[in-house]
Structure 1
């Protein structure tokens, strides 16, 4: 086994690849003991995969919670059982020329906080089983709706029956379902034909390593240079710096008072209820910031990094 690698790796996944195959190759190249991810992509989709390495797996809840930006193409007039082009056709309707003029209004109806039903062919679990496995057996079931937030649903181009859109949405949003719902609003039905994840939080696909370059036997040192260290892996989170003595105590389980974290630290700077504690170029811990937090009270350290 190689020496431990801690951090995150940005990958640009190619179409047709299975996300877990990419993860497996990274594990082999880096001889990494712990490898995770911050959200996979369907084989049809391309774009940003965030791979978590070593102690980077402890960052999952914060990185996965970030909003996502996608560009995707839908085909109006045809619905499929998987809601994308890999599935069987279940309905066909004509696509009138006038539908192009209705797109902007229809997109507006699907923006903001909405109720969305995940696809039957998805990794959502039902009584311990993945939905897609049940769907393949022909079982009859319906997944419960969930709240998601669609910040942007913007038309980029129209070449009927195809429409390309840009989507910025909350974590947990299924673009397949969103596009299918858009087809329903337009009265034509629709399915996804192409999808690319452009960004997740502050990380963008153009900074990712092409997945095709990650192969068994490739130069591990070159790939290791692309790993983003832990202290840079939470760019949107407020930061407080501590000295060596306090860092050592926190790593041994000490819960410091907020006042100990330095006069320059402002509690109001906490992003998404958390703040990262660093020493130089080391991530020491992540602490939660709640409404009850006040000067003199103890910080609630929720993750420690060694």
Structure 2
């Protein structure tokens, strides 16, 4: 994951976001480190959260929306017995409940009900827009916000540890879930199911799609040595690859349909004879048509 980066290079950087920093601030730091203005991220992390944040550079910002980043993994700590205004430790305490009657068996049984496809009401301080305004902005302005439930998938919800304290119970969990799942809401809803309330005290994203913590670098590390993935490597590692001849490459560069390629279902990364990544194409009947062209 190294190479000679210039401000005109196109690629992906996997950042290990520190706590206390917004995703927007991470993007601003990467702009300064990389020396380029065109930087964007996939999948916002709350300021209290740490872990994998996938960042696109230059033309790779357009690739982010095509990458398979829907599945994510998290390690988290849920505190039972306390509810907060934000469903996490950054909010003010709303209520407390005695937890002396809550057993590890009861917690395990409650967690079982949140696996698979579930209906989840997002946290009120989420970034979901309500009538054109972010929900968290409305909450901070003192407005009452009611968000609609949405279907999400929790494919793994493992209990790693249960620590019983005098006034609360801390539950360490590991979660695999679909995009749009709110771990804060899982904490809130687990506490509600047990009748004692709950909120999130720690959150670390360990994976986004195929990008995990093994590939992630801290901002300080990136400032010393800018490790990145060229867009061609990301495309070749994510999609089926098609190596075009010169005539086909000329057509691909202008986004023209191509006959008779027999591409696999879904998107295929198209390369020219020099190994330059040109575009993403997909089959449409007898033709292959572009979904996105990355060269001009």
The answer to whether the 8 Å contact 1:287/1:301 transfers is: yes
Q: Taking structure 2 as the reference length, what is the TM-score of the superposition?
A: 0.90
User: 1:207 — aligned with what?
Assistant: 215
1:196 to 204, 228, 231: 204
Unaligned runs of 5+ in 2: 1-5
Shift of residue 29 of structure 1? 1.8
Is residue 24 of structure 2 the alignment partner of residue 20 of structure 1? yes
Q: CA deviation at 1:200?
A: 0.8
Are 1:300 and 2:293 matched, yes or no?
Answer: no
Distance 2:246 2:193 in 1: 58
Deviation at 1:244, TM superposition (A): 3.1
CA contact (8 A) 1:285 1:304 kept: yes
- What is the CA RMSD across the aligned residues, in angstroms? 1.8
Provide Cα deviations, 1:243-279, integer angstroms capped at 9, x if missing partner: 233122111121112x236xxx5x2xx4xx3222233
Superposed displacement of residue 97, structure 1: 5.2
CA contact (8 A) 1:64 1:171 kept: no
Kindly indicate whether residue 280 of structure 2 is the aligned counterpart of residue 286 of structure 1.
yes
8 Å Cα contact 1:73/1:192 also seen in 2: yes
1:189–1:288 CA distance, 2 compared to 1 (3 A): farther
Residue-pair matches, total: 284
Tell me whether 96-105 or 112-121 shows the greater mean CA deviation: 96-105
The 8 Å contact of residues 12 and 211 in structure 1, kept in 2 or not, is answered as yes
- Indicate yes or no: 2:114 matched with 1:114: no
Q: Aligned pair in 2 of structure 1 residues 3, 44: CA closer, same or farther (>3 Å)?
A: closer
Given that 2:243 and 2:271 are in contact with CA atoms closer than 8 Å, whether structure 1 keeps it comes out as yes
Aligned partners of 2:206 and 2:240: how far apart in 1?
A: 24
Deviation at 1:62, TM superposition (A): 2.6
> Which of 56, 71, 78 does residue 75 from structure 2 map onto?
71
Deviation, 1:238, is 2.6
SS at match of 2:67: helix
CA–CA distance in structure 1, aligned partners of residues 145 and 68 of structure 2: 27
For 1:113 and 1:237, the matched residues in 2 are separated by 27
The equivalent of 1:132 in structure 2 is: 136
Residue 248 of structure 1 corresponds to: 250
- Cα 1:60–1:17 shift into 2, 3 Å: same
